[in-house]
Amino acid sequence: MNITHDCVASFHYILTDNSGKILDSSEGHEPLSYLHGAGNIIPGLESALEGKVVGEKLSVNVPAAQAYGVHDNSLIQELPSTMFSGIEQIEVGMEFHAETEHGMQVVTVTKVEGDKVTIDGNHPLAGIDLNFAVEITEVRAATEEELTHGHAHGAGGHHH
Ligand code: ZN
């Protein structure tokens, strides 16, 4: 069967940036399973998988805007380190959940200088064009329960 709305599709993938650096991969794991048409995966990848069948291999280039969004400078803020009281040592790479005007977001510390801390609320993959090498391993009809939940169950999907 072809991948279409209300199918659960599974695929192996290797994700690289434009320089060829591997950012993520399903190698050594179960293939990723998702419910097609439910927005479980990024839109650019989901639309490229539409109509495909088991065994197909494809390369999908997803521009940043259709992946994790363009880099938004307004999500970068410099804060006084006093706002982080209670944390013994602030280090670059630390992640915090912060209430922002866009709702709850994960922010990453990108710079610590004196008593100033710079945080970035962009997704780590924001502004990066993504290249997926995909191999489809399974396509099946979704179960009633999966349709109700809006995601795939089983190996490579949700476990609960
Ligand atoms: Zn579920």
DSSP state of 41: S
Tokens of 131: 């290249």
pLDDT tens figures, 34-51: 999 999 999 899 999 999
DSSP state of 29: S
Nearest to 110, CA basis, from 138, 71, 145, 149? 71
Q: What CATH class does 7-68+125-149 carry?
A: alpha beta
Distance 160 CA to ligand 1 centre (A): 6
**pLDDT at 156 (0 to 100):** 87
Distance 1 CA to ligand 1 centre (A): 23
Coil, helix or strand at residue 74: helix
Distance 153 CA to ligand 1 centre (A): 6
- Catalogue the E-assigned strands of 47-160: 57-62, 76-80, 95-100, 103-113, 116-120, 130-141
The reported pTM is 0.77
**pLDDT at 102 (0 to 100):** 67
Question: In the chain, where are the structural domains located?
Answer: 7-68+125-149, 73-120
Distance 158 CA to ligand 1 centre (A): 6
Q: What CATH class does 73-120 carry?
A: mainly beta
Distance 84 CA to ligand 1 centre (A): 37
Q: Do domains 7-68+125-149 and 73-120 have the same CATH topology?
A: no
